[in-house]
Amino acid sequence: MIDLYTWTTPNGRKVSILLEELGIPYTVHPIDITKDEQFAPDFLKIAPNNRIPAIVDHETGMQMMETGAIMMYLADKYKKFQCEGDEYWRMVEWLMWQMGGLGPMLGQTHHFVKYNKGKSEYAEQLYATEAQRLYSVLNARLDGRDFIAGEDRGTYSIADMACWPWVSRFEWQEIDLNAFPNVLGWDLRIAARPAVQAGYSVPKFTTDVPMP
């Protein structure tokens, strides 16, 4: 049994979507970051960086924080949603791209473009421009491909599950997905998956999956 400590953010949804795709039993423990519950001493024992999500695997005794590590651990444990051969490292490459670029930069875009518009024109332009650039990078990668990594047209993997929850908030970033047709098609393919729709509403329903 897996315990999942999470909230309704893109980072949280990455792991809940993977758990739904794996089809394994798990117990959800909401950590309401709007009430600073991520700083509770009991959660700190599981996630020393005070960030959601985190997991405890009671079969192995493993407890983990950081979404990239959690996703690699679960994919390896259950031997699903991983690419093979050289494409394994291509999958890891794009997973790290999400961890180091797409997620942090789009998070800053949310902060300045959605929540604090008008407070810093410099920051708004900086992060809006970077968001456009990152979407262009992903759009180029998806040219002629259904998914980010894998041979031929690609294989649905943890790289897609890591990137998609951030792209699903395109409206927060003031991104027109029609300007990135390869990303648009990829977004629609993933959004239609039942496990993605289920994982999107963990630990609670907020909105339907955004559709362009």
Kindly report, residue by residue over 70-101, the tens digit of the pLDDT.
Answer: 999 999 999 999 999 999 999 999 999 999 99
The enclosing domain of 159 has a CATH number of 1.20.1050.10
Cβ proximity of 57 and 2 under 8 Å? yes
Instruction: Please give the Cα distance from 106 to 122 (Å, whole number).
Output: 16
H helix or E strand, kind and range, residue 212: none
**What six digits make up the tokens of 84?**
């093979």
Q: Are strands 26-30 and 2-6 parallel, antiparallel or unpaired?
A: parallel
The enclosing domain of 33 has a CATH number of 3.40.30.10
Q: Name 34's Cβ contacts closer than 8 Å, sequence gap at least 6.
A: none
Q: Is residue 14 part of a domain?
A: yes
Q: Is residue 98 part of a domain?
A: yes
Q: Is residue 212 part of a domain?
A: no
Q: How many domains does the chain have?
A: 2
Quote the pLDDT of residue 7. 98
User: pLDDT tens-digit profile of 148-169?
Assistant: 999 999 999 999 999 999 999 9
Quote the pLDDT of residue 132. 98
Q: What backbone torsions phi and psi does residue 4 show, to the nearest 5 degrees?
A: -115, 120
**Cα–Cα separations (whole angstroms), residue 162 to 7, 108, 110, 121:** 15, 17, 17, 30
Quote the pLDDT of residue 29. 98
Altogether, the residues listed in the chain come to a count of 212
Q: Is residue 110 part of a domain?
A: yes
Q: Is residue 152 part of a domain?
A: yes
Cβ proximity of 67 and 14 under 8 Å? yes
**What six digits make up the tokens of 160?**
């897609």
Instruction: Please give the Cα distance from 83 to 159 (Å, whole number).
Output: 10
Quote the pLDDT of residue 30. 98
pLDDT below 50 — which residues of the chain? Answer: none
E strands within the chain? Answer: 2-6, 26-30, 54-57, 62-65
**What six digits make up the tokens of 14?**
């990455």
The parent domain of residue 94 ranges over: 86-193
- Enter the pTM of the model: 0.97
